[in-house]
Structure 1
Amino acid sequence: MLIIEVTNAREVMRQRIGPLGERLIGKVVDAEDQVEKALIQELENAFQEFGIEARIVSVQGPQLVGRDHLELPIQVREDREVRLSEE
């Protein structure tokens, strides 16, 4: 199992939407959610290309505490099954 924590979502969104849109981060635009959606799409494409079937789940709540603890009060934001298309 992999856990990927995006630690610079606000900076990524700031680069993507520019200074005017920066004011919307946290008000209208959820930077973490938007970056996760883009990352999920890229992972899905890569997994299909490599023949990997997987379940990608975006959750809100877990926090990494140091290197050996993970707090898990979670709320699922997105759950996507990656299946290989039969051609």
Structure 2
Amino acid sequence: MLVIEVTNARDVVRQRIGRLGGRLIGKVVDAEAQVEKALIQELETAFRDFGIEARIFSIDGPQMIGRSHLEIPVQVREERQVRLS
């Protein structure tokens, strides 16, 4: 199982939408959700190219604590299944 924590979602969104849009992050735009959605699309494409079937979840709630603990509650924002046709 892989866990990927995006640590610079605000910076990524700010680069994409500019300074004015950067001020809206957190008010109108959920930076983490936007970056995760883009990553899910890229992962889905890459997994299909490699012949990998997977379930990809975008979840809200867990926090990494150091290198050895994951704090949960989990709220699923999005789920996508990658299946080979």
TM-score of the pair, normalised by structure 2: 0.97
Aligned residues with identical type, % of pairs: 78
Q: Which residue of 1 aligns with 2:64?
A: 64
Count of residues in correspondence between the two structures:
85
**Gap regions ≥5 residues in structure 2:** none
Runs of 4+ in 1 over 2 A off after TM superposition: none
Which whole-Å CA distance do the structure 2 matches of 1:71 and 1:27 have between them?
A: 25
Q: Residue in 2 aligned with 1:8?
A: 8
Unaligned runs of 5+ in 1: none
Report the aligned-residue RMSD: 0.6
> Map of 1:39-78 to 2, 5 A cutoff?
39-78=39-78
Aligned residue in 2 for 1:29: 29
Give, in whole Å, the separation in 1 of the partners of 2:36 and 2:60: 11
In 2, Cα distance between equivalents of 1:73 and 1:20: 33
**Alignment-mate amino acid for residue 20 of structure 1:** L
Shift of 1:20: 1.5
TM-score normalised by L of structure 1: 0.95
SS of the equivalent of 1:23 reads helix
- Alignment partners' CA distance in 2, 1:66 and 1:24: 30
